[in-house]
Amino acid sequence: MRAKNKLGLVFFPAFDWAISPTHPEREERLLYTRDQLEEEGIEDIEGINFFNPDIASDKDINRVHFCNPDARTLLTESHYIAAGGVMKAFDLVFEGVTDKSFALVRPPGHHAQRVVYGDRGFCIVNTEAVGLEYARQKYGDMRVAIVDTDCHHGDGTQDIYWNDPDTLFISFHQDGSTLYPGTGFADELGGPGAYGYNINIPLPPNTGDKGFQYVMEHTVLPILAEYKPDLIINSAGQDNHYTDPLTNMNFSAQGYAALNQKLNPDIAVLEGGYSIQGALPYVNTGIVLAMAGLDYSSVYEPDYHLGKWKQSERVTSLVEEIASAALLLWRKRKELAVRKFGGQKSVKRERRVYYDTAGIMESQIQEFKVCRNCPGVNTIKSQNDQGVSIMCITIPRQACPVCQREGSWLFAEAQKSDYNQIYLQDLSKDQYYQGR
């Protein structure tokens, strides 16, 4: 058997990292998947190959995050390898070794935001963002769509790309009013430099295959066709599955495979999914076969039977309404941006972020400059309940000369303040500075 699409599988189960031995986010998440892939003979299919991950550097992490006190203090070796696994997935595609790649790595990353004081939702490094920014520095600028199919809203990825018009972020997930992290509502549309390029589709509990396929066909694919990305990334969380212990959705392995076939991503990255035996081996097998362009019709969970998880008419109606509203917001984004930000010189965004594993509460004030020539320099003033106060400055990749100078000036001025740490992330020059 030969794969229609050459597919690279980057595999890393992170044997040395776990929140606890019995925590749902543990190495068995991937070990059961590996066993299933072996049982199905995936390794024997011509065109599907396994690859070892690379190891990310501090510089790779610092393109994305402001780690306090620094990356080396917060991260374990597993986090560097997981991020390096995603970097490897990008290299495989861009260097033509494979047509597509799937990074089967852990720990997950999509809850990790720009500022990092510790773990949130089992995440501390946003592996997709690290891989993407590494690729942009190595292979050049590109328009990218990240489609997050995890049941939990990808609040970290949203935060990182909040003001980046070259990164379209689409997340469809269980409604944040019913599930962690309590975000991902339709009105979270992005900053002044990228308003409308952040799209949330919060779905009601008990959404099944029918609902997810409707969203893909009637909202996600039309938006992608209009945006015309150079690259599509699937943030491939699998906790929408009907057996997942942490969520309330009714997605199946067949549904995941069909969705992946329609989305046709260049790169997929494993995120959540905590039905270690009942879901992940079958869902991952379905995704692998779909990405390789092979028949996945025989992939079923042991307890699955057609019609078992039939979606109610009420849920169907709600899904259709939500999907239609999201598409309308996308198509009205320019008009809405003028209405919201017209005439403003800067935009402030106040947030509170809880690091649930570390038990740290953070208060942030983000400020985005409204610039006609680039997305604008931005700052984060952050203080946590442990007494730490930091200042973070980002000069965007596409920064105009004025914003480049302003970012450098802000960093110099911050040295005179009483912040515990001051950071400058100059993406236009691929440089990172940390001051007292």
Predicted local confidence at residue 15, as pLDDT: 76
Contacts of 251 (CB under 8 A, 6+ apart): 207, 208, 209, 212, 240, 241, 242
Predicted local confidence at residue 306, as pLDDT: 65
Cα distance between residue 412 and residue 407, in whole Å: 9
Cα distance between residue 181 and residue 200, in whole Å: 13
Predicted local confidence at residue 224, as pLDDT: 98
The letter for the amino acid at 205 is P
For 18-58, the pLDDT digits (tens) are 777 777 788 888 888 999 999 999 999 999 999 999 999 99
| Catalytic site positions | 111
Average pLDDT by stretches of 10, the chain with 436 residues: 97 81 82 90 95 97 98 95 97 98 95 96 96 98 97 98 98 97 98 97 97 98 98 97 94 96 98 91 96 96 79 96 98 96 94 94 98 96 97 97 97 93 97 91
Cα distance between residue 115 and residue 64, in whole Å: 9
3-state secondary structure of 264: coil
CB atoms within 10 A of CB 225: 9
User: Domains in the chain, ordered, with CATH?
Assistant: 2-334 (3.40.800.20), 343-435 (no CATH)
Contacts of 23 (CB under 8 A, 6+ apart): none
Cα distance between residue 421 and residue 432, in whole Å: 13
Cα distance between residue 25 and residue 19, in whole Å: 7
Six-digit token string for 274: 């905590």
3-state secondary structure of 256: helix
3-state secondary structure of 331: helix
Predicted local confidence at residue 28, as pLDDT: 85
Predicted local confidence at residue 24, as pLDDT: 79
Q: Which residue has the tokens 């004030």?
A: 365
Six-digit token string for 400: 């105009």
Q: What are phi and psi of 296, to 5 degrees?
A: -115, 10
